[in-house]
Structure 1
Amino acid sequence: MSEIPRKAVQRTAKLATLPIGVAGRVVGGWGKRLTGMSSEQVNADVTAKTAEQVFAVLGQLKGGAMKFGQALSVFEAAVPEEMAAPYREALTKLQTAAPPMPTRTVHRVLAEQLGSAWAKRFQEFADEPAASASIGQVHKAVWHDGREVAVKVQYPGADEALNADLKQLLRFSRLVQAIIPGAEVKPLLEELRDRMVEELDYRTEADNQRTFAKAFDDDEHVLVPKVVASAPKVMVTEWIDGTPLAAIIREGTREQRDLAGLRLAEFHFSAPSRSGLLHADPHPGNFLLGADGRLRAIDFGACARLPDGLPRTLGVMTRLALDKRSDDLLELLRNEHFIRPGTELEGEDVLNYLGPFVEPLRNETFKFTRKWLQGQAERVGDMRKPDSRTGRSLNLPPQYLLIHRVTLGATGILCQLDAEVPTRSIVARWQPGFDD
């Protein structure tokens, strides 16, 4: 058996342990109920242990499983504190950590992609990886002209791994849904699967990054490293330094938290208007805060093409919800296919559902907290609550799916940061339709 198929089988075997382990804990939970433990205690215990196993397994994997774990990591803030503790650190590790490739494999890929004389293009090249990503790892080097550079090298067999992992994870989406309340897990997986072909060709990522770097060239608030060279499975960019947002989330000062939140919100809302693209992979591992106060953005493999900027409809919808214009809001949602034909909904019900989501825009600043996001997740995730029933009656048109997921992901990071952000002024400046 070749190395790549063998690893694929090993990944599949690890993923296959998930439903077995969950089933065992559920049975154990029934036993605890018989001994007098309350259903709430049992459910919390089962959920926490399930989460611990899910992310322990994902943390050992590359490919689609790791990418899925990275995507889920931004929803950690929505998980109740008593359940989040067992796996918060595992989620954070998924953002940057994966087992490294052997040096000989790295050199082989570099030779295949940059030519047999690849080493002559560098003054120095560190064989030990500086960081890892879902489908590749990053090495620090010095380019032949003296510039410090980051060299991203794709894992051999990444395409097979992505396909195999995502097929398996689609089967287990209900299990993960149970521990991430409020997250639409299956559509997220399907979206990752649909976009992975683009991400496997680093030339596409390089083109995206060149577009962002040009749009934010000499920007006072955002730094995007320039692309130096690219090939299908290797990309060389300028090296950047900074404090990862994951570290600020864990131990940052109040000033760092608020500044990181401000810069992230500015980047998220302004990028479509400035570049025609939306950075579609929001997790703390893809952003750093520099000593100069600028946000460093990396990893542009997943981008949404928005040549006209963010859709005007979203701005109008947000404004109507903010102004509590329930009838106009209901009419807009029907006209834009957010409500399926034949579905009966009352304007007040829709307003009650959407109203809390626009709370960050009611005042000049808003303090994003885990508690606030947990409340939103519970409100829309508890099927016994009216807002949950309203949410299930609404439809998200396909063209808005990625924007919705990215905005939710960015909001998750803001809540992890515990940042106070002038969201209203940022949205008013960059979201078309909000102040028309």
Structure 2
Amino acid sequence: MSDIPRRTASRTAKLAGLPLGVAGRAAAGFGRRLTGGDRDEIAAQLATKSAEQLFEVLGELKGGAMKFGQALSVFEAAVPDEYAEPYREALTKLQSAAPPMPMADVDYMLTQQFGRSWRSRFADFDETPAASASIGQVHRAVWKRDGREVAVKVQYPGAEEALRSDLRQLGRMSRILQPLVPGMEIKPLVAELKDRMEEELDYRDEAAYQREFAAFYEDDPDVKIPRVVGSAPKAVITEWVQGRPLASIIRDGTREERDHAGNQLARFHYSAPDRAHLLHADPHPGNFGILDDGRLLVLDFGAVARMPDGMPPELVTMTKYALEGRSGDLMALMRSAGFVRDGARIESEQILGYLAPFTEPLGSEEFHFSRRWIQKQAERVGDLRSPEAAIGRSLNLPPRFLLVHRVTMGTVGILCQLDSHVRLREIVAEWQPEMFEPDAPTG
């Protein structure tokens, strides 16, 4: 059986070879510069080769390694221009493509999940995979009972072992992997993946979340959630719904298509916590599409968080204070909620200035999310010599807000990839109106 490359030594060797490859290319590039090579041309070639190696290995290994690569893909828009093109091309490949699992493995897994006669459930089953992902792949089929087209997602054999191995190794290597992805923080990303990957291994959990989402968005004019037909621990069957992938719109969409996709994505992200008390926690372009009728198609519910109180009230109120310029109230709330480190010497006006660019999209009727805008924010807080970086070191992100922060930033990253004009203030006001309303009278 040809499953995920899962021998720990083999996977570790491939991952360990990534920083070694970068070091070797850097040394070779230095030698070429000594002999008169053009600095910019050599730097571009090094970036291209590093990107190609990184995402080729991650895609080949699948499992946690590929999941890590897909998580990085959301933040591609923030990569500095000198690295952007090679990373853009390599990252995009990971959003919807990976080496396919042989049909013998598919048969083995479906026999385990549904019994030897699993084929009798289908009038037709396409043995060529329609899509691949980090821990599974999707086949198109026809459900015999009612003749509807369905998507059959099958987990790769060995996925659990591969996930554990990859994430342990990536955690150990986070510091030396950092140069491969300029402008992104590797260590917290790997830690967060570790926290949530366990729940993605049982497709019955995914099916349950998808059923909940589908019920809340039934007949919605803006969002389509495919219905679940059946599930097992390592396989899930849903109705087949075909849309234009967001990656396609990012690549060559018209201005109208980009803006429409961006508004629909923002609408889904900000509505789900208050409407369904759930958060779709895997935002990358491969999980979204646009249907012919304009609705946003949402796929893959392996990573979902429950939001019993909707969007966290502390975050809503903090944003309100920042928008209103209430630096004192903002500082007091951030301290009480644990966003300011103990003993940090920082002025309330400094925090207000630090957060102002992040609340800018909510300050006007329509905001243009662009690569340049997100690059500017990454440069502003990522330059260790800048005043903003010093302020950032005085701040803290409490664990209970980590997931919603990452998902929101991931959604913003996609909006910037789309280069979309979004009526964000209007969308957020519909679902978190208290952010823009006057304070309730007291006393």
TM interval, short-chain normalised: over 0.9
Structure 2: how far apart are the matches of 1:238 and 1:131? 15
CA contact (8 A) 1:97 1:133 kept: yes
Residue identity opposite 1:103 in structure 2: M
CA displacement at 1:4 relative to structure 2: 6.3
Equivalent residue, structure 2, for 1:242: 243
What TM-score does the superposition give when structure 1 sets the normalisation length? 0.95
1:197-216 alignment runs, 5 A limit: 197-216=198-217
Distance 1:405 1:208, change over 3 A: same
Equivalent residue, structure 1, for 2:353: 352
CA contact (8 A) 1:78 1:181 kept: no
Q: More displaced, 204-213 or 114-123?
A: 114-123
CA contact (8 A) 1:312 1:432 kept: no
What per-residue deviation string (whole Å, max 9, x for no partner) do you get for residues 201-259 of structure 1? Answer: 00000011001000100000000001000000010000001100000000111111011
Equivalent residue, structure 1, for 2:24: 24
What per-residue deviation string (whole Å, max 9, x for no partner) do you get for residues 159-197 of structure 1? Answer: 011111111211232344335455332111111112111
CA contact (8 A) 2:4 2:62 kept: no
| SS of residue paired to 2:75 | helix
Equivalent residue, structure 2, for 1:161: 162
CA displacement at 1:10 relative to structure 2: 3.2
1:22-421 alignment runs, 5 A limit: 22-31=22-31, 34=34, 46-144=46-144, 145-421=146-422
Q: 5+ residue gaps in structure 1?
A: none
Residue identity opposite 1:341 in structure 2: D
**RMSD, matched Cα:** 2.1
Q: More displaced, 65-74 or 95-104?
A: 95-104
CA displacement at 1:25 relative to structure 2: 3.0
Structure 1: how far apart are the matches of 2:403 and 2:43? 32
| SS of residue paired to 1:164 | helix
Structure 2: how far apart are the matches of 1:97 and 1:193? 22
| SS of residue paired to 2:385 | coil
| SS of residue paired to 2:109 | helix
Distance 1:179 1:3, change over 3 A: closer
CA displacement at 1:315 relative to structure 2: 1.1
Distance 1:356 1:48, change over 3 A: farther
Q: More displaced, 331-340 or 45-54?
A: 45-54
Residue identity opposite 2:364 in structure 1: N
Structure 2: how far apart are the matches of 1:431 and 1:180? 35
CA displacement at 1:22 relative to structure 2: 1.9
Q: More displaced, 299-308 or 30-39?
A: 30-39
Structure 1: how far apart are the matches of 2:190 and 2:223? 30
Q: 5+ residue gaps in structure 2?
A: 438-443
CA displacement at 1:28 relative to structure 2: 3.6
Distance 1:36 1:404, change over 3 A: farther
Identity %: 62
CA displacement at 1:358 relative to structure 2: 0.7
Q: More displaced, 306-315 or 227-236?
A: 306-315
CA contact (8 A) 1:313 1:433 kept: no
Distance 1:394 1:179, change over 3 A: farther
CA displacement at 1:331 relative to structure 2: 1.1
Structure 1: how far apart are the matches of 2:324 and 2:183? 25
